[in-house]
Chains A and B, each alone.
Chain A
Amino acid sequence: MAAQLTDDELSAALSGDPSGFSAVYSVISPAVLGYFRARGVDDAEALTQDVFVDVLPKLSNVRGGHSGLRTFIFSVAHARLVDYHRRSARTPHFTEFDPLEDHRRSSSAEDEVLGSMGGITSALATLNDDQREVLVLRIVADLSVEQVAGIMDKTPGAIKQLQRRGLIALRELVKEKDHAAS
């Protein structure tokens, strides 16, 4: 079970107190790290630290208590993830072509990274990007539908729809995997 952030620690963090910063970091950074790992970021720890270097000095502007703090931190994390995927798409990896080693399929490089990790991540890799983002934000980041809607700049109804479609697709994949294993 993750540690919990108390009201006093939240108040300290919002007033720029180092003890509050440490509490925010130790409570929320595991979820941010998990969010990046679940989304296939190769250096998730570095990106997590970038997020906190960015957000900690700005906590005095956060409104909405615990929920507002979490929404703010994951808004920055989401923006960092979008930048990361854009940057990855712009920097192709050059290797000598070997037809026997060419395992390219219709899935993206991100999907392949996720797929290589096995388990739930390989199933997630088959979902489309929005469905995957909604499920990871809802389950790993522990955000509500409204919070995810604010971060992804969509309506709560659209988020619910994406969540439902993502879960149905995930269920089919889990069933297929079970059939293949048995």
Chain B
Amino acid sequence: MSVTPAGREEGEIQAILLDSGLEDDADLRRSLEELRGFAHDSAPQPRAELAALLVHGASASGVLAHGETPQSMPMRRASNIASLELHRRNRQRRMGFVVGAAVVGAMGLGAGAVAAASSEDFRNSVGHTVVRIFQPTSDTTAPTPMPTSPADVPAAPAPSGAATKPSVTDTAPSP
């Protein structure tokens, strides 16, 4: 038995024509035989993944991981899919936190703006705070130099002439 028994093709086309009551149409039969010619190409050259299957069978290294059975392959694929799904959910959760924080921050700013617009005291206190922050330089005293230890102060250069030249008054006149 075979998938394509010898001599069946013409019979098949004839049977198809007969089914539709068109068995006498020679032109149509020729067209169908031309269509049938599409099935007569050679098998495509298999690429790596398919070649591994054809050489090693269902336990092909390209298809199954080392030591994996064909039965466990769907489980591996499922676990890969599950890990991707988990990753996607975690990312969505993080995005949720970020968006939530942004919304809360924006609401806080909005509430602050409303308070500023409605309360005179609030505006005054904010204005005062801003003034204190940005105008301290005029009120503060000039910075005092930090006290330094004597060791850090460079020694004043000694007058070299006084030290080296002998005093006239100190010397006794020779008799």
Residues of A at under 8 Å CB distance from B? 1-7, 16-18, 21-22, 25-31, 33-35, 37-38, 45, 48-49, 52-53, 56-57, 60, 65-66, 69-70, 119-120, 123-124, 135-136, 138-142, 145, 160, 163-164, 167-168, 170-171, 174-175, 178
User: Binding site of A, secondary structure by majority: helix, strand, loop or mixed?
Assistant: helix
- Which one of B5, B20, B54, B55 lies within 8 Å of A164 (CB-CB)? B20
Say yes or no: is B139 at the interface (Cβ < 8 Å to chain A).
Answer: no
In the complex, A171 Cα to B13 Cα: how many Å?
Answer: 14
Q: Which residues of B contact A69 (CB under 8 A)?
A: 3
> Are B4 and A18 neighbours in the complex by a CB distance under 8 Å?
no
- Which one of B38, B49, B70 lies within 8 Å of A34 (CB-CB)? B38
> Are A140 and B73 neighbours in the complex by a CB distance under 8 Å?
no
Q: Residues 96-140 of chain B: 1 if any A CB is under 8 Å from the residue's CB, otherwise 0?
A: 000000000000000000000000000000000000000000000
Residues of B at under 8 Å CB distance from A? 1-6, 9, 12-13, 16-17, 19-22, 25, 27-28, 31-32, 34-44, 46-47, 49-50, 53-59, 63, 70, 73
Q: Which residues of B contact A174 (CB under 8 A)?
A: 27-28, 31
In the complex, A136 Cα to B54 Cα: how many Å?
Answer: 27
> Are A135 and B35 neighbours in the complex by a CB distance under 8 Å?
yes
In the complex, A80 Cα to B46 Cα: how many Å?
Answer: 18
Q: Which residues of B contact A142 (CB under 8 A)?
A: 3-4, 9, 12, 39
Shortest CB distance A114–B (Å): 12
Shortest CB distance A73–B (Å): 10
User: Binding site of B, secondary structure by majority: helix, strand, loop or mixed?
Assistant: helix
In the complex, A28 Cα to B59 Cα: how many Å?
Answer: 22
Known: A30-B40, A31-B39. 11 other contacts (CB 8 A): A4-B4, A6-B1, A33-B41, A53-B53, A139-B35, A142-B4, A142-B9, A145-B19, A167-B16, A167-B17, A168-B22
- Which one of A53, A57, A119, A160 lies within 8 Å of B19 (CB-CB)? A160
Nearest 7 pairs of A and B residues by beta carbon: A34-B38, A4-B2, A16-B58, A18-B57, A164-B20, A45-B44, A34-B39
